[in-house]
Amino acid sequence: MTTSLFDLKGKTAIVTGGGSGLGRDIAKVFAEYGANVAICSRKLENCQDTATEIENEYGVKTMAYECDVSQEEHVKRIVESVIADFGQIDILVNNSGATWGEKVEDMPLAAWNKVFDVNVTGTFLMSREVGKNMISNGSGKIINIGSVAGMKAESGEVLNAIGYSSSKAAVHHFTRDLAKKWAEHDINVNAIAPGFFETKMTRGVLEKSGDKIRNNNPMKRLGDPDSLKGIALFLASNASSFITGQIIAVDGGSSL
């Protein structure tokens, strides 16, 4: 009975930014529990490598797509392709993200816009297009990847990326608002707010302030590849059927 709560067999998940990092980890755990997986990002080669690895390891249907989530026509085309290839979309993970490290007084407008275009507009566009299919099917699970940076302000010594933190706060509120609006369609919308994980995006920050970040964390460590898998599986499965509009921090207590 417990296993069936987390069973994703027969489901199709689309994971943006799924070719590497946290998105790759999420795509793999979905496949481990039986879901077919569509992986998309701007770097098709990464997606193809991950799709091949997942298909060989878990035997589920996995396909790779090139998509810039900030571009409306890209999103429409990819969602149409995934529906044509898989039949429907049951789970969406909005994981594609961008950041820009700079002092506020020196941050270019183009950098601010780039971060918001990917993190906020991309989340909106993917949710809108996939949501049409979910509304038609009468159910769905949307998981947005926010950040602890969108829950609390950090000193410039730790994180100087106001565009990123502001965009993730916007993702959190988008999650709550959309959850309330689409609850009538039996679509659960939740967000995961990771703390500091060792990824390509955080490499520069961790090289500069890694020891301080670890020491300030109640658990005295960073997130590892397995730290996000459980909550992603939970939010994608029937185990979370009565949970919506929640922002769940996975951060070792750093947001406390």
Of 42-51, 111-120, 136-145, 152-161, the one with minimum mean pLDDT is 152-161
Tokens (6 digits) for 214: 């670890």
What confidence score (pLDDT) does residue 2 get?
47
Residue 52 lies in a domain: yes
Q: Give the mean model confidence (pLDDT) for residues 228-254.
A: 95
C-alpha pair distances (Å), 110 with each of 97, 107, 117, 133, 140 = 16, 8, 10, 33, 35
What confidence score (pLDDT) does residue 169 get?
98
Amino acid at 17: G
Q: Report the number of distinct structural domains present in the chain.
A: 1
What confidence score (pLDDT) does residue 225 get?
77
Residue 123 lies in a domain: yes
Determine contact, residues 194/228, Cβ cutoff 8 Å. yes
Residue 91 lies in a domain: yes
Domain that holds residue 243: 2-250
Considering the entire predicted model, what is its pTM?
0.93
Q: For residue 115, give the CATH number of its domain.
A: 3.40.50.720
Residue 104 lies in a domain: yes
Residue 184 lies in a domain: yes
Which of 33, 58, 65, 164 is catalytic? The answer is 164
Percent of all residues in the chain with a pLDDT value above 70, rounded to a whole number:
94
Task: Write the DSSP symbol of residue 44.
Answer: H
Residue 255 lies in a domain: no
Tokens (6 digits) for 134: 């979910």
Residue 256 lies in a domain: no
Determine contact, residues 247/193, Cβ cutoff 8 Å. yes
Active site residue 33: no
Residue 195 lies in a domain: yes
